[in-house]
Amino acid sequence: RSVVWAAAVECCGGLADRGKEWHYAYATAYLTAAIRLTMDLLGDIGNADQLTSAREENKVLTDKCKEQSIRIHELKMQVEELKTKNLQLEAELEIYRSEFGGATSNQESKEALLDDGDDEANDFVSSGNGVYASEPEVTLPSIHGQSNPLCCALDQNDTLLATGSADSTLKLTFWGKALAPGDDSASRAVDEAVSVPCGAPVICCSFAQDSQNNHLAAAGCMDGHVRVIYCGSEMKPAVVKSDTEIKHRKYVKCLSWSPAEPVLASASADGTVQITRVCHDASSELGSVSLDVVKTLHFEGAVECLSFLDARTLCCYVRDTSYLSYFDTEEDFKQTKCSLNAKTVGGFDDHVSFAILQMVPSPQGKYIALATDASRHIIMEIGTERIVRNLYGVTHDSFSNPSIAWSQNGQYLYGNCQNENSLIIWDVASTDITKRIETGGHTGFIRGLFSSSRSDTLATVSFDKSAKIWLCQM
Instruction: At 302, give phi and psi (nearest 5°).
Output: -65, 135
Contact 231, 239 (CB under 8 A): no
Each residue's pLDDT expressed in tens, for the chain with a length of 474 residues: 455 455 555 555 555 455 556 556 666 766 776 676 666 666 666 666 677 777 787 888 888 888 888 888 888 888 877 777 777 777 666 665 555 444 333 444 333 333 444 444 468 989 999 999 999 999 999 999 999 999 999 999 999 999 999 999 999 999 999 999 999 999 999 999 999 999 999 999 999 988 777 789 999 999 999 999 988 665 667 777 766 789 999 999 999 999 999 999 999 999 999 999 998 765 555 546 789 999 999 999 999 999 999 999 999 999 999 999 999 999 999 999 999 986 554 445 677 889 999 999 999 999 999 999 999 999 999 999 999 999 999 999 988 999 999 999 999 999 999 999 999 999 999 999 999 998 889 999 999 999 998 999 999 999 999 999 999 986
Q: What is the total residue count of the chain?
A: 474
Quote the CA–CA distance of 352 and 335 in Å, as a whole number: 20
What does the CA dihedral 137, 142, 147, 152 come to, rounded to 10 degrees?
A: -30
Quote the CA–CA distance of 157 and 442 in Å, as a whole number: 25
Quote the CA–CA distance of 406 and 413 in Å, as a whole number: 5
The closest of 220, 243, 242, 240 to 231, measured between CA atoms, is 240
The closest of 133, 206, 152 to 423, measured between CA atoms, is 133
Quote the CA–CA distance of 282 and 289 in Å, as a whole number: 9
First-last CA distance in the chain: 111
Contact 258, 275 (CB under 8 A): no
The closest of 338, 344, 415 to 381, measured between CA atoms, is 338
